[in-house]
Structure 1
């Protein structure tokens, strides 16, 4: 596939997204940008959230992870089911009852301004880093396949990537994203299906499920070593809590849910989203088994994050596979990144600057547009920084590891608010939330060095417990009234 063909594909793809943004942003205002006027059909939200949840990281890294981790990631995916149940039955009713635009407003009502700003700040940090990781991955692939051929440096590749997101989100915001994410999810799923089909056909596999079941890479459940990071209960519980914090306590994901017409529709969306997401993740892992075996049989020297791109674009699977791979990669990456940019703009505008309290709507909109540009520039700068630090480890592992530290304080704050009636000494909350990840890190190192015990992704739970314990020490003697 020639670079010019890739360039034309990208131009055509984004032309469609910009056309969608034109129709969805015609009469847009701040209410449209932040909440889509509470008019989103639940089934569009549910379908679009699949792409946003998976992202370009899952598209690339999960298949590449199978070589070293087998299908152990499925243990986390099953944990997601429990986490999404908590979101649908506990968190969504809370958010709809309070009629929230930013979900962190709950922390202000429950504890005070310092807690509110702390929670929002941890989200801003978490989502900025997470979105940058995801965009870094797709920018690297585009650099390799397209921009290197034209001698374009990486920083221009990154700038173009962010500019394209800004172009189709700056006006319609979340309303545009609900529709573009639906299209992007469709492209991503078609891409996975096409790649599985072409590899199966090339390897003359008649029954995919039997082939996967017989593969040595299909081992899913690990109960042997409780000290290992792959141990089932660690992965399962980590999956549940990762789902709760990275979806239920994440403005990015919840902002889409809050655009539904009512709570019932939002819960219906969460149920179907969970069901489909489990199936989709299984097929990503199945694809990983096929890619690994295909590479070994054909002498292809590629692994981890390079495995899928190299086989799809430089193997003998044909032009159609390469085209759909690129469409799927771009769709998966942008369906996560566009909503991240919108949610960062929303959280900073509402939680930090509190523009919703300004009376002049024109000034509110001007401020929101400036913040949108600001976070576009921040994402560019962050991706360029990551260029020099990401090396030998799958990106998805880095994102979850980072999330263990940044989302832990949010988990502790919401757990304390929902499951106790205690009030806090509000001014001390930032200190507790900053010190908790540091304490958790040293506890993790201590357990590895002295007990050979690896918390794995369950580190998130430990971090939440450390935060919860710290908050208990700064509680007030009086409680909330019933």
Structure 2
């Protein structure tokens, strides 16, 4: 009976979310509708969509893993950078995007610098978002595979966790989830994404609160929590300066400690600030839903409200991990362990959901897991399809004189399916890595991939936003390459990428191996410092000024089809 109730709840969720997606996006007729929803989406729906897009299954399952391992809310202090970074984006970035009536943020780069900068940065986005979202796509398969083991092999009876040693079950789960999400995303475009995100955001946060109530009941309330984790009654349970374990270090030792620490007050104020400026100012996946609001003022309201909502959301999911630590101390039977006997942090919440939660509540929380996964996946698919269509496919159609609204829409839907396939491949590869090395942590991998690429992307946008005549196509290409190489060398990537090629690079002991939380700052700062040496051509600046002053331009066509919107060398 319990199996039937939980299954019915999950099935009802899948049916309802697909119906909402198909209904809301049924009148898509051109790329403006598919990509921007006609710029008619209410600000509160945009806010909910932002929350759903950024709160992926990596947060739902990964943040509890961080709370479990650290036994503190240190991860939450990164939200300080969330608020600061998004305030800068809301204040500086959004108005130019609306002034130039862009379809993707990379249209802005074509106007400010030239077509080569736009193409290069757009290509970086397509690579980064496919890798990062593909990696995140693997995460809900962890719970789906556990659920399959529990119900198919044990008839819904409690089981002791055993690591899955084959990629096959993960692959089936990944494909199932992707097919369901890609179906309504390809059909309904951004409207389907946003309105399903509204439902998914509510379900996600509601199921997390239910999980906290269930855990508190199982461990015996807050008194039991404070006895098991005394730090929760002290300030260090909430903030970590980064110097708690430092003893007798010299000045350079403290500097290295700052840049190698993942969750410190320094990475929160500086690293996370730049990361959020990059994600919400330059990543089409996040910016696209903001562009659906009617005005930049409403888009700003959506972004800032979502930023402040991130604080309780991050706290809730990290707090779940701390409660799980207390629970498993008392009841270790279902604690997921690898062959060496070490806890597998990415599976601790999933094992609790399936083995301990009461019938009905279990089904609701599982639906919450799938909601977070589908919300972030649908957003990524739509953003990738929009960028590929607007930045690459539409210009190609225009050069051949073959552009029509129907051709653009067919291209956008085709790219949605293409990127869904690519994400399945990436997720399958990460599943293989996870099977081979269960100790891999989710949050550092997902944020590390994103931070490595969006940092240099942000540097180019900073050149455009904070200087009047610096940066050029040539200079930006050089600066981005230098930024990628610098971030890769200072971080972990130089070893992991080059070693398989037989290239050995000795990392000097005196040089700090920076944490993933600093990738965006290092990359953006490097690109800015290199790119600022190059001057923007006068004719490009003149054309950009004319476009900013043109308030009558028709934005029903993609920017690449508006002759007055092209860089001078493209207009002839």
* The two structures share one fold, judged by TM-score above 0.5: yes
DSSP 3-state at the match of 1:422 = coil
1:307 counterpart (330, 344, 348): 348
Equivalent position of 2:499 in the other structure: none
1:467 equivalent to 2:527? Answer: yes
| Contact residue 459 and residue 524 of structure 2 kept, 8 A | yes
Consecutive unaligned residues in structure 2, runs of 5 or more: 154-167, 247-253, 337-342, 493-504, 546-572
Equivalent position of 1:168 in the other structure: 184
Equivalent position of 1:353 in the other structure: 393
> How does the TM-score come out when normalised to structure 2?
0.78
1:406 equivalent to 2:488? Answer: no
Equivalent position of 1:204 in the other structure: 220
Give runs of aligned pairs for residues 233-244 of structure 1, distance below 5 A: 233-244=266-277
DSSP 3-state at the match of 1:101 = coil
Q: Could you tell me how far apart the structure 2 residues matched to 1:443 and 1:452 are?
A: 8
Deviation at 1:319, TM superposition (A): 1.8
Equivalent position of 1:193 in the other structure: 209
Q: Could you tell me how far apart the structure 2 residues matched to 1:249 and 1:375 are?
A: 20
Q: Could you tell me how far apart the structure 2 residues matched to 1:66 and 1:153 are?
A: 27
> CA 1:215 to 1:168, structure 2 compared with 1: closer, same or farther past 3 Å?
farther
| Contact residue 7 and residue 146 of structure 1 kept, 8 A | no
1:376 equivalent to 2:420? Answer: yes
How many residue pairs get aligned? The number is: 481
1:343 equivalent to 2:383? Answer: yes
Give runs of aligned pairs for residues 53-132 of structure 1, distance below 5 A: 53-69=54-70, 70-132=72-134
| Contact residue 234 and residue 455 of structure 1 kept, 8 A | no
Give runs of aligned pairs for residues 7-18 of structure 1, distance below 5 A: 7-18=7-18
> CA-to-partner distance for each residue in 1:245-286, whole Å, 9 max, x for gaps?
112211111111111121221122122212211111112222
1:290 equivalent to 2:323? Answer: yes
Equivalent position of 1:450 in the other structure: 509
Equivalent position of 1:421 in the other structure: 468
> CA 1:101 to 1:27, structure 2 compared with 1: closer, same or farther past 3 Å?
same
Equivalent position of 1:245 in the other structure: 278
Q: Could you tell me how far apart the structure 2 residues matched to 1:53 and 1:327 are?
A: 17
> How does the TM-score come out when normalised to structure 1?
0.92
Q: Quick check: which has more Rg, 1 or 2?
A: 2
Equivalent position of 2:148 in the other structure: 146
DSSP 3-state at the match of 1:318 = coil
Equivalent position of 2:568 in the other structure: none
| Contact residue 75 and residue 239 of structure 1 kept, 8 A | no
1:385 equivalent to 2:429? Answer: yes
> CA-to-partner distance for each residue in 1:397-434, whole Å, 9 max, x for gaps?
11111122111111111111112233445245434423
1:440 counterpart (487, 491, 507): 487
Range moving further from structure 2, 349-358 or 193-202? 349-358
Q: Could you tell me how far apart the structure 2 residues matched to 1:242 and 1:172 are?
A: 30
DSSP 3-state at the match of 2:532 = helix
Deviation at 1:203, TM superposition (A): 2.0
Q: Could you tell me how far apart the structure 2 residues matched to 1:216 and 1:270 are?
A: 29
Deviation at 1:359, TM superposition (A): 4.0
Equivalent position of 1:326 in the other structure: 366
The CA RMSD over aligned residues, in Å, is: 2.7
Equivalent position of 1:214 in the other structure: 233
| Contact residue 385 and residue 415 of structure 2 kept, 8 A | yes
Range moving further from structure 2, 188-197 or 396-405? 396-405
Range moving further from structure 2, 298-307 or 408-417? 298-307
| Contact residue 21 and residue 192 of structure 2 kept, 8 A | yes
Consecutive unaligned residues in structure 1, runs of 5 or more: none
